[in-house]
Structure 1
């Protein structure tokens, strides 16, 4: 009787969710409306839902915070709190009501309203009253797995960036690109900030999975077993069982998608295994053939997709306030509000800026800090004057609270006794405004908690506006002679030649001393990156763009990233643990748009438009690209009308700039498909948040 009643309760709960606008993604996951069979996924979802109702599981992904994170706030001693309605993480003192159960009045009212609706519905259905009514909008994450992995939302962000399935329409065919050129992709295990990085070594050649059979003429969805021929990041090359050595029907897919399952999934969910039509008559005893092929083989863990979804839950939410570097003056920070979260990447809106005055970075980026950080360490911050025209923006209407310190990546503790960095010391550092250069630099100011203000020697600014904050443990600063020892071209100060520059002579001439070697963090993990590996990398000069890229050089833990199709002057140095590099297939997995390589010659007559990207004022003019003039796409007018003076100035740009006009900072342009440009919504009407970032909907 107990076993027979469980399916009935599950069906009734599904009805509850449907009645109040919920979404039963498990039916989509099964891809069969008539299927009434239960599975390990349903059981896990139900158990997780009950545990959360009993208060045994948190509603927020606290376990995703960076390792070693304390459970109390730094300095303040306040306790962390989790909103029982939306799952947001905050401090108890900032939460609403005496019980501190909710982050805002709206969450408290929503919780109460949903509980009443659930209680009324339960009485109408004849269910006995429970001690605690179910909150209908808090369906367990594992119950949303199908819809979550199948679609990360559709449309565009307010800045015009396509997301979800709209981004996939513009998607770059990684599989064909890798296979045609015999490229190798960096394994997922190299990237510590991406989903399931610590379990991806289990994905290997020869592993068996159950996938959708695309070579079938049956009216319903059927499946077949396939073998992994090659792994490239999140993408794998599969071959249906029965084709043996015939590679003509091999196909690529992303292991994070919902149509790839471990062996046994079809049996549990009453799905049919049907061989592809092409080889249907090849064997008469397919069951015996499969048994022989499956003996001793490996497959995905049964909870693979559940863990994938859990690892794609991020603690940052729309409306959280934080401090971020001011892109117009990197020596100071500004107050900003989280507008969008996609795959752990944050779109931030400056509080005192326009609706398109945004900044993209990863949640573990060293460029963002909790509110109060600048004042605490002695860093400059721009006084915020809230703009009246931003009052109606969704992100500002939904301000929850300040992002608490333990949501940010924890920096290494430093000990200043026995000698520390001093003002005036010289070192080598990656130029924050031209990330392809390692320059001679000076420590201009020593802040608290191990932070340093550093400037590039010979820089154009004399007022300190180009100072940049690095932590003492940063892997972007190096001791003197680091470049010489590792055969890297050092960018010397103005008036010096790179091939004749000598640190000894320079220190003597400037009457300065080099920072001691022992103060630098020179540890090097076994990161696994090799020259020639392909990946997806953020263009840090235009951080909303993620591009197809190659590891051009490996120097200990330092990687030189080359953007495919672009000249080497756009290369950037990054650390091997940088949160701005991603494995192949990450954009497809999260629904983020990937910028394809710039083709030197058009292979097919494509009718494409190029949307002019909003340029950052401090980055100056854009350098010319390497493709010949005949292959450069025509520019499309920006959505925001340009001033006449800007248009006239743009027309008068000389083909060969004079030395005084050359600006070393470079930015790239974003390429959008014409079909997507036509479907782009008005920038004044942002796409609803729930369609953009489903990983934030609890």
Structure 2
């Protein structure tokens, strides 16, 4: 079924939706504009007696688009009030008791021996002649569209594969976990010690190849003693067995040339103890002061939250120096975010701090995007959760977005990077079959609550 919340909202001319191209991890993000052009024709179903079995297919023109949703008008139709919305990315074959609300390329009905013809209300007598007259030379959807749509949602990680995942109960460390499955490339992991589950997109930097922690010097908890030796040997020898994730399963970490050049000029040890501003994984609603506690291999940093960290270091954050979560000293005040800044103690003043991370190391090359304030999207409630919410861009403060969850108080708003894999275009949940919590949902766990 289509999502009535999104389609109802999309019908309002004043509503603004984040464009698919702004989400680099989302299906069709690289070529959505090319595939979904205004004026192109597709085939879609209508249901004369309102049952799935009565599905009849006819041509429809794309007249507008909002995220994954496209507004369609039947060929021969002139009344905008009869337009309807479909999810462009929906690709799964409907069950026998479900209506086919997918979009198909022109010719699909004939190829699959489905009933084809216009709705009676259009009063088209000779459909073949009408099509020749009105369809000639018009752009149509690519024939391999369904295959492309399915491949865009195929995950790299198969069930049973072992990985190292950030321990959500002790974020300074990782734990071994096993892939249970995925929904739309959002992977479900089960910690091997039986302590629970975690959910991350396959491009997330919250999980790693087996042996990554030992190689980089990060703490790993609740694993067999022989795992340390075995996993390090496998990752160094590039010979991980088929049931363990290797570095080849992961998207390579690309450091911009500008940052790489700056790092060549820095003595690594001078960064230890230096302070900066950071979006804390455990408290993403505010901007905190962090201190570089340790430097791991390949410029991964262990960051301690100044004035708000556990004495045993269990909530220290492991972040690569290129992460958009790391911000220069004074970022909050320079961008009018003072009310979201959480100082380590009353009277804290950056001008009195003598050891700060150089600003040049924290300058970010932003991915291309069109995020604007007020745009709707879908967002994870808290890192590692499987709960998805209707959300809105409250503010764009490069390299961050301030995300508001619709129907919840603003105290639940959080910061996310523009490149976050925890945000998706409107319609993603419907496309892949993930539950979406809307302001109309009966059971609505608050975001930020596990």
Instruction: Render the CA deviation track for 1:44-81: whole Å, top value 9, x for unaligned.
Output: xxxxxxxxxxxxxxxxxxxxxxxxxxxxxxxxxxxxxx
Aligned residues: 415
* 2:90 is aligned with 1:224: no
Residue pair 1:527, 1:557 contacting (<8 A) in 2 also: no
1:309 aligns with 2:309: no
Question: Which structure has the greater CA radius of gyration?
Answer: 1
Name 1:277's counterpart in structure 2.
Answer: 120
Partners of 2:106 and 2:356 in 1: how far apart? 60
> How far has the Cα of 1:460 moved from its partner?
4.4
Structure 1 stretches of 5 or more lacking a match? 1-167, 387-398, 600-607, 614-624, 626-665, 670-698
Aligned to 2:222: 383
The question of whether the paired residues in 1 share the 8 Å contact of 2:172 and 2:315 is answered with yes
Instruction: Give, in angstroms, the shift of residue 286 of structure 1.
Output: 4.1
1:404 is displaced (CA, Å) by 1.0
* Alignment partner of 2:108 out of 265, 271, 288: 265
1:329-381: CA deviations, max 9, x gaps? Answer: 11111111111211111111111124xx1111111111101111111111111
TM-score (norm 2): 0.85
User: 1:295: how far off?
Assistant: 3.1
Aligned equivalents of 1:472 and 1:308: distance in 2?
35
Q: Structure 2 residue aligned with 1:571, among 409, 413, 417?
A: 413
Give the equivalent residue in structure 2 for 1:444: 293
Between stretches 527-536 and 415-424, larger displacement belongs to: 415-424
Q: 1:595 aligns to what SS in structure 2? A: coil
1:552 counterpart (379, 394, 399): 394
Structure 1 residues 194-217: Cα deviation after superposition (integer angstroms, max 9, x where no partner): 222222102122221111132369
- Map residues 230-249 of structure 1 onto 2, 5 A cutoff: 230-244=64-78, 246-249=79-82
Helix, strand or coil at the partner of 1:349: strand
2:139 counterpart residue number? 298
Q: What is the aligned counterpart of 1:515 among 345, 357, 360?
A: 357
Q: Offset at 1:482? A: 1.8
Corresponding residue number in structure 1 for 2:236: none
- Deviation sequence 1:565-588 (CA, Å, 0-9, x none): 111111121122211111111111
Which structure's residues are more often helix, by fraction? 1
Q: CA deviation at 1:181?
A: 7.1
Q: In the alignment, which of 384, 388, 410 is matched to residue 252 of structure 2?
A: 410
What per-residue deviation string (whole Å, max 9, x for no partner) do you get for residues 86-112 of structure 1? xxxxxxxxxxxxxxxxxxxxxxxxxxx
Q: CA deviation at 1:556?
A: 2.5
Out of 27, 35, 38, the position equivalent to 1:205 is 38
Instruction: Find the counterpart in structure 1 of residue 47 from structure 2.
Output: 214
Paired residue for 1:589? 431
Tell me, in whole angstroms, the C-alpha distance in 1 between the residues paired with 2:218 and 2:363: 22
Out of 202, 205, 209, the position equivalent to 1:370 is 209
Partners of 1:217 and 1:482 in 2: CA distance: 56
Change (3 A) 1:493 1:257: closer
Tell me which residue corresponds to 2:83: 250
Q: Is the 8 A contact 1:216 1:276 kept in 2?
A: no
Distance 2:332 2:435 in 1: 35
Residues 401 and 471 of structure 1: CA distance in aligned 2, closer, same or farther (over 3 Å):
same
Unpaired stretches in structure 2, ≥5 consecutive residues: 92-101, 226-240
Q: Relative to 1, partners in 2 of residues 1:294 and 1:668: Cα closer, same or farther, differing over 3 Å? A: farther
- What is the CA distance between 1:523 and its match in structure 2? 1.2
TM-score by length of 1: 0.56
Higher strand share: 2
SS at match of 2:64: strand
